[in-house]
Amino acid sequence: MLFNDVIGQAEVKAQLLDLVHNNRLSHALLFLGKEGSGALPLAIAFSEYVTLYFSAQHAGSASGPSLFGEEPAVETIKHLSAEEADKWMQMQQAYAKASGLIHPDIHYSYPVIPRKSGDKPVSTDYVTEWREFIKLYPYGNAYDWLQFIGAENKQGNITAYECNDIIRKLNLKSFESPYKILLMWLPEYLGNEGNKLLKLIEEPPDNTLFLLVAENENMILPTILSRTQLIKVTAPDARDISDALVHRAGIGREQAQQLASVCEGNYREALQLLQHSGEDWQALLREWLNAILKNGPTAQVKWVEEISRQGREKQKQFLRYFNHLLEQSIRLQLMATAGENMPDAERDFAGRLNKIASLPQQQVIIEELDKAAYYIERNANAKMLFHALTIKLYHIIAKSEVLA
């Protein structure tokens, strides 16, 4: 993984490189970024750079004077930019191991499930799947990972057995690099058994680095959170995501800009939207609103049945699209020039939404849609959820004008 594989994040990349080059690297860093921000690929790229950097430094200082008395040549690699760091890494002998996620001094920890009843799973049981997942879905989330390993409806965890395995690994001598690194993805899945790691995080063996990659700091054990240095990974801006979609996904600039405006800094979401770009969300939304405001309970039940048969990801995409249109509607009300950058169909639909719901009503609807997406992510019953949401929207909008 290279820094260039991470979308945007120029300031954070510079900050991380500065920590290494100026010898200000803490023993435990928390990469905190929302889904789709790129916190995981950034942490992976950083772990590889740290390993290669200190390997090069150690090799130069450990070589000693030559038989003829000259000082050993120590490679000068200070104060590189992210682009320069990428070029330098690719010239290192151990880069192939690091980029292939097989370097013996970089260890990974992530949520796993038991393969069969009675298993005591640890991350290394799934290391082959992990390498393939990072190659295919570096911006994937916990749901993507758990489905990738066949979890279905099982809950992933970072278990007490995993904590014991981490302690064992980090107390071993490093193999090739002077640094040993433990990269833990989603410490939110670490329960009270995570307290086993407190002493190791607070007083780690020499040259040991913890990299925690999280989406929600409120779900991390406070005892672990307090022992880390925070690295905030903000959402990429729309231009960075648009450029990435053009160059990585191979789509046209106009479509990329539309997807970037909807996904709100979540590159994973942009890819999901692209995957479902053939879906007619607008027709589905029009049908729902007419069922709520015009056609009555029979039409509502039929619509709920239809949406509940869709997969969880499609349901989330639909709610996100509705939210996006409401945000566009609000912009139309507050900004005179807002409609200039909207596709014609979206501008027309957003204008119609303004006719059936006031600004305060739209804000309440957005909150309800956000809650619904949250519950879908946590395996709520889709039929019950959308039925309840239909009733809520009826009471919020009352009996205003419907969409033709």
Rg (CA), the chain: 25
What local confidence, expressed as pLDDT, does residue 316 receive? Answer: 86
pLDDT band for position 286 (50/70/90)?
Answer: very high
- Span 287-302, average pLDDT: 93
The span from the CA of 4 to the CA of 83, in Å, is: 7
**Both structure tokens of 136:** 């295919």
Which run of H or of E encompasses 214?
strand 208-214
Nearest in space to 34 (alpha carbons), one of 16, 2, 9, 17: 9
Is pLDDT at 64 greater than 70 in this prediction? no
The span from the CA of 250 to the CA of 244, in Å, is: 9
- Span 128-138, average pLDDT: 97
Nearest in space to 196 (alpha carbons), one of 183, 187, 207: 187
Is pLDDT at 362 greater than 60 in this prediction? yes
**Both structure tokens of 44:** 């992976």
Q: Where are the alpha helices (DSSP H) in 149-220?
A: 160-170, 198-202
What backbone torsions phi and psi does residue 108 show, to the nearest 5 degrees? -120, 145
- The most distant pair of C-alpha atoms in the chain lies apart, rounded to whole Å, by 93
Work out the burial of residue 117: count CB atoms within 10 Å of its CB; fewer than 13 is exposed, 13-18 middle, 19 or more buried: exposed
Question: Any idea which of 213-222, 321-330, 383-392 has the lowest mean pLDDT?
Answer: 321-330
The span from the CA of 98 to the CA of 105, in Å, is: 9
What local confidence, expressed as pLDDT, does residue 71 receive? Answer: 44
Fold of 3-234: Rossmann fold (3.40.50)
Q: Where are the domains of the chain?
A: 3-234, 237-267, 279-397
92-111 burial, b if ≥16 CB within 10 A, otherwise e? Answer: bebbebbbebebebbbbbbb
- Span 34-48, average pLDDT: 97
- Span 390-399, average pLDDT: 86
pLDDT band for position 400 (50/70/90)?
Answer: low
What local confidence, expressed as pLDDT, does residue 305 receive? Answer: 95
The answer to whether 115 and 107 are in contact (CB under 8 A) is no
* Mean pLDDT computed over every residue of the chain: 88
The answer to whether 233 and 38 are in contact (CB under 8 A) is yes
Is pLDDT at 153 greater than 90 in this prediction? no
The span from the CA of 136 to the CA of 144, in Å, is: 11
Work out the burial of residue 157: count CB atoms within 10 Å of its CB; fewer than 13 is exposed, 13-18 middle, 19 or more buried: middle
The span from the CA of 363 to the CA of 228, in Å, is: 36
The span from the CA of 73 to the CA of 56, in Å, is: 11
Portion of the chain with pLDDT greater than 90, in percent:
62
This prediction has a pTM of 0.79
What local confidence, expressed as pLDDT, does residue 369 receive? Answer: 94
More confident residue, 31 or 337: 31
What backbone torsions phi and psi does residue 330 show, to the nearest 5 degrees? -65, -40
Portion of the chain with pLDDT greater than 70, in percent:
91
Which run of H or of E encompasses 183?
strand 180-185
CA angle 303, 306, 310 (to 5 degrees): 135
What local confidence, expressed as pLDDT, does residue 328 receive? Answer: 84
pLDDT band for position 20 (50/70/90)?
Answer: very high
The span from the CA of 4 to the CA of 151, in Å, is: 32
Question: Any idea which of 73-77, 148-152, 326-330 has the lowest mean pLDDT?
Answer: 73-77
What local confidence, expressed as pLDDT, does residue 62 receive? Answer: 46
Secondary structure, 3-state, 352-392 = HHHHHCCHHHHHHHHHHHHHHHHHHHCCCCHHHHHHHHHHH
pLDDT tens digits for 168-196? 999 999 999 998 999 999 999 998 888 89
Specify the 3-state DSSP secondary structure of 180: strand
The answer to whether 177 and 55 are in contact (CB under 8 A) is yes
Report the CATH number of the 279-397 domain.
1.20.272
DSSP 80: -
The residues near 346 (Cβ < 8 Å, ≥ 6 apart) are 325, 328
What local confidence, expressed as pLDDT, does residue 232 receive? Answer: 97
pLDDT band for position 124 (50/70/90)?
Answer: very high
